[in-house]
Amino acid sequence: MPRSLSMPSYPRFRRAILAAALGLCATAALAVDPPEPVPDEEPIEAPAADASAASRPGDVPAAQQISLEDVRTFTAVLSLVKEAYVEKVDDRRLMRAAIHGLLNDLDPHSEYLERKALESLGEDASGSYPGLGIEVTTVDGTLRVISPIDDTPAARAGIRPGDIILRIDDTAIVTDNVGEAVDMLRGAPGTEVTLSILREGAAAPQEFRLKRETIRVASVRGRLLEPGYAYLRVSQFQSETGSELRKRIERLKKDNGKPLAGAVLDLRANPGGLLTAAVEVSDALLDSGTIVTTRGRIREAEMAFRATPGDLLDGAPVVVLIDNGSASAAEIVAGALQDNRRALLMGRRSFGKGSVQTVLQLDEERAIKITTARYYTPSGASIQAAGIVPDIELADLALTENEPSSYPVTSERDLRGHLRGDNEATATTTSPAVHSGAPRDYALNEALNALKAMALQRRAGPGKG
């Protein structure tokens, strides 16, 4: 799934959910304990409903009451399944299926979480887990790749954003089991798995054989592309991403020996992560302004995050690279820097996950993750299902190095009897050497060229009319 974002948990919201649940449970002979909040560093979380009118179990506003006819229909279906299904099915399995169906039918990001899924939430936030290093989501009953994570088995095998996973080993991925697919992708380090993948434009599926390993994701990497120009790669947003970015920028400044002239922030194939990390990364490059706001049906969902003084690059130009694998927290950063006119966005339209999920714990081993709000960029735009549109769109191309010519470079000075120039002795006709840090991918090369132009314009200062 695209990574979710974190916000506080809300007791009143939990009481409102419990009150509604008890109304149904009284008929279905079920009981649920009040949910407890998970730690703040979990997937995008939003506020809670004002349950002042639901202070007593079952005391739910009329507009929120469950229809008695719907309850009768549910119990009738349950009874018929138990009586007529070809095999005997126990009540616990049927009720679990009903709960899964209730949440899965809302949207692709709301779900019922049991022990393994809850454990994976903590693993995702820490950046260490056993698996393939692949982020997926469900689209119309199919399992689609959001992005492979840098330097993982999925990335090394050539898995791409947009790939559709048809089979995992001998198991076909269908609507009924797509929710279990993440567990099927994970496994003990050293074990192998075969993925059958349908790629856009391909006539037939391709098979990829991958070996699972412990995924330890370094969320921030960086280097100098050329003297003065930094490359900052954020692969996902974890609990330490903000501090790691600050340390990396300070290290690159030191390596450069003077302030940086500009930086490329690469958010391509970044599936997202923690809201707090997205806010910290944005704040590191902003002096002021709104970073992101959230809005939902309930008052507590109205939240806003603003930048604090202190731009780590001291106003040096920034180019942000995004693509269709940039999702969730990555889109928050891209939108904040674009709307505050702090960075130029280049690449392709982003994924478009602009919703907020709250994790509400039922007990130590069970919870629900439910969408409670949408988030908005500083300009007030929602990117839900629309994505962030870059300022300059780039095609998905690759760079290749030209073969060296067997013929010498010809210029005016090589012509017989040419008119001698004043600076001829210092002129050169050799091709410029390729810097060891020069980018090999098309988008990064274009970003570096744009960054140099922005830096030159900044040095030149405002034009005179």
Of the candidates 57, 11, 17, 20, which has an alpha carbon nearest to the alpha carbon of residue 38?
A: 11
Alpha-carbon span 126 to 283, nearest angstrom:
21
At residue 371, what are phi and psi to the nearest 5 degrees?
-75, 125
- Name the residue among 248, 247, 310 with its Cα closest to residue 282: 310
Active site (annotated) includes residue 382:
no
| Annotated catalytic residue 258 | no
Residue 201 DSSP symbol = T
- 328 in catalytic set: yes
What's the burial of 190, exposed, middle or buried (CB within 10 Å: 0-12/13-18/19+)?
A: exposed
Q: Which of 4, 219, 339, 369 is catalytic?
A: 339
What are the φ/ψ torsions at residue 290 (nearest 5 degrees)? Answer: -75, 140
Pairing of strands 134-139, 142-148: antiparallel
What would the DSSP string read from start to end of 334-384? HHHHHHTT-EEEEES------EEEEEEEEETTEEEEEEEEEEE-TTS-B-T
C-alpha 215/C-alpha 47 separation (Å) is 32
Strands 343-347 and 36-37, by their bridges, are: unpaired
Angle between helices 68-84 and 11-28 in degrees, nearest 10 = 60
- Residue 294 to residues 17, 299, 326, Cα–Cα distance (Å): 21, 11, 19
Distance CA 138, CA 124 (A): 18
Per annotation, catalytic residue among 353, 355, 369, 452: 353
> Which residue of the set 235, 328, 350, 355 is catalytic?
328
Active site residues: 328, 339, 353
